[in-house]
Structure 1
Amino acid sequence: MMKRILSTLFLGSVLTISAQVGINTDAPKATLDVNGDIGFRGKIVVLNTTDNSLTQGTNDQLLVSQGTGYPPIWKTLRIPEYEPNKFYLIYNNSFSDNAGIKFTSGEQATITTSRSATFTKGADISTLQGFKKIAGLSQEIDVFSTQSKAYFQFETVVQADFSANGTTDTSIDYACGIFVDDKLVNLRQRNLKASNASYSFLTHNQIGIVDNLAKGKHKVSVACSRLASFGESNRTLAVGTNTNTNINGFIAQSSLKVDVYEVPEVFNTIIN
């Protein structure tokens, strides 16, 4: 009995003196260093140093480190539960550009065939005459599934340096296209007319959709072209920028929003 008491006292003094305790290790590297598996039959609790209360967390919470010198805290881990054959928003981003592009009358496209024959889905930008890209809207996106729907929303301001009180026949035809990997996926054609005020402008809105892009990275871009002019000659057309100070670059800037919805191909089992 005396030996047991002495052993207990000796062990207690060692634990009190030593700053580190090792279990199954002779060289502990922490206050308590356990080399091996740990099995808990009770509860894990964390001391709240503010009010000295003990918290044991709730279902689905994890114990997360706050870094050196700080106690761990309980955090809720939220894992999205995907249902098969349903689309989910996987990629979402938006871009802007205030540099824009300009076209002189000498940069007008010469289309030798009809516009309906020229502007076809999937046409390569190199085959479409006079198109200029809006630099800040050329961006890379990611697609992770073979089943996807990509939505593109493009908005800008188009202005021409028409004089005041232009006739109704004074106008410029232009077109803007949305491209994926330099292939045309959407195009809108419009006409900007002169008005009783000089330097007329309009807001251009455009939405494009493309299904089932190949898995991997894709380059999205927006480009526009000057197609035809009527009435006054030698007028400049600006897209995403201004030709006069009645509007500024902030007002005229371009934006592109990209949303990619996918049917996820990998489903991880969620264990509560």
Structure 2
Amino acid sequence: MKNIYITLVFLAVVCKGQVGINTNTPAKTLDVNGTLNVRNEVRTGGTPSTIGSEGTSGQIFTVASATSDTWKTFQIANGTGSLSLFYLNTVKDNVGIQFTQSGSTGIYTMDAPYSASSWTYISGASDSFVVTRTDNKSKAILSFQTTVQIARPSGLSWSTGSASYACGIFLEKDGAAGVLKAVRNDVVRGIPGSYRVYNLNVTLDALAAGSYVVKAACTNRNLGSGSSLSVLGIGRAVDTSNLNSAMSQSTLTTSMLQTY
């Protein structure tokens, strides 16, 4: 004699046409009190005579309105493997740096370690982010802006002065010392109090997974000497007759992209 086994699933059907699984008070046409496992596609937008859409590769399921859900295509930033913005932030610094004598006018080498004897960090122009993807395709886009001004030291009477300088971006990974990733030198010249806006933009490619810190630093090059010596302010007003801390502040904007 064969044994017949019958498995009962608690199913409630009410007169309004609502169906409940593991509930006898369904709130919607189909109300599942528990987990749902779908072994094939989910289709939406169907009619009694037309099967719904299962969506296409890369689309996501989204709420279109209070009574309608659908598949949605999102525009992803073009890039290696399609990159998407994961982090965006801007930091500011109103203190800056002041130099009162000439420094080195030598060349700079990429990936050289930070040296406090050659460079000075702008304390507030520092930001951190984390890369989680392990495909080494992530990138960070950095934009540093500051104001550079010259002033005449007390006791000097020059009418036109100049000062050369350089600013760079240093990158630290997982607590290691910072290394130089971008640099550009420039010069400001004119009457006492003359100033100009300085910009430095860099894209850091092929970032491996890890924790990163980016910092802006600057250095003095040739500020003159003797009766032609200039005082140099970077991100700092050194002649407040036509510049203040709000006008001279430094900003560092970080955009971090990872594969989608």
2:182 is aligned, of 180, 186, 191, to 186
- Please tell me whether the aligned partners of residues 162 and 230 of structure 2 are also in contact (alpha carbons under 8 angstroms): no
Whether contact under 8 Å (2:148, 2:235) holds in the other structure is yes
Q: Deviations over 1:70-93 (max 9, x none)?
A: x54435533567999556354563
Query: Amino acid of the residue matched to residue 151 of structure 2?
Result: D
State the Cα RMSD in Å. 4.4
Q: Secondary structure at the match of 2:237?
A: coil
Identity of aligned residues (%): 22
Corresponding residue for residue 137 of structure 2: 147
What's 1:120 paired with?
A: 109
Selected match of 2:98 from 86, 100, 103: 103
Structure 1 segment 54-203 matched on structure 2, within 5 A: 60=55, 62=61, 64=63, 71-74=66-69, 76-79=71-74, 86=81, 88=83, 90-91=85-86, 93-105=88-100, 108=101, 111=104, 115-116=106-107, 119-125=108-114, 127-143=115-131, 144=133, 145-162=135-152, 166-168=158-160, 170-181=161-172, 182-195=178-191, 198-203=192-197
C-alpha separation in 1, matches of 2:242 and 2:98: 19
Task: Give the aligned length.
Answer: 225
**Distance in 2 (alpha carbons) for counterparts of 1:209 and 1:41:** 41
Following superposition, the deviation at residue 218 of structure 1 comes to: 1.2
What amino acid maps onto 1:203 in structure 2?
A: V
Q: Distance in 2 between matches of 1:123 and 1:42?
A: 57
Residue 242 (structure 2) aligns with: 246
Q: 1:138 is paired with a residue of what secondary structure?
A: strand
Matched with 2:7 is none
SS of structure 2 residue aligned to 1:211 = strand
* Greater fraction helix: 1
- For residues 203 and 184 of structure 2, the distance between their equivalents in structure 1, rounded to whole angstroms, comes to 13
The answer for the alignment partner of 2:5 in structure 1 is none
Question: Helix, strand or coil: the match of 2:247?
Answer: helix
Amino acid at match of 1:159: Q
Measure how far apart 1:158 and its partner are: 0.4
CA offsets 1:33-83 (integer angstroms, 9 cap, x no match): 4458799999779xxxxxxxxxx99774857498xxxx5443553356799
Query: d(CA) in 2 for partners of 1:28 and 1:148?
Result: 49
- Relative to 1, partners in 2 of residues 1:58 and 1:128: Cα closer, same or farther, differing over 3 Å? same
- Cα offsets for 1:131-161 (capped at 9, x unmatched): 2222332111343331345433322110122
Within 5 Å, which residues of 2 pair with 1:30-41?
30=27, 33-34=31-32
Bigger Cα displacement from structure 2, 207-216 vs 21-30: 21-30
d(CA) in 2 for partners of 1:154 and 1:142? 20
More strand by share: 2
Deviation by residue 1:220-264 (Cα, 9 ceiling, x = unmatched): 1101122342145785422123221412333322223334566x3
Shift of 1:97: 1.5
The structure with the larger Rg is 1
Alpha carbons of structure 1 residues 161 and 153: separation in structure 2 relative to 1, 3 Å: same
In structure 2, C-alpha distance between the alignment counterparts of 1:233 and 1:248, rounded to whole Å: 24
SS at match of 2:207: coil
Counterpart in the other structure of 2:252? 256
Task: Give unmatched runs, 5+ long, in structure 2.
Answer: 1-12, 173-177
Aligned-partner SS, 1:212 = strand
Between the aligned partners of 2:214 and 2:193, the Cα distance in structure 1 is 31
- Shifted more, 156-165 versus 136-145: the winner is 156-165
Task: Name whichever of 182-191 and 227-236 sits farther off.
Answer: 227-236
Q: Is the 8 A contact 2:127 2:254 kept in 1?
A: no
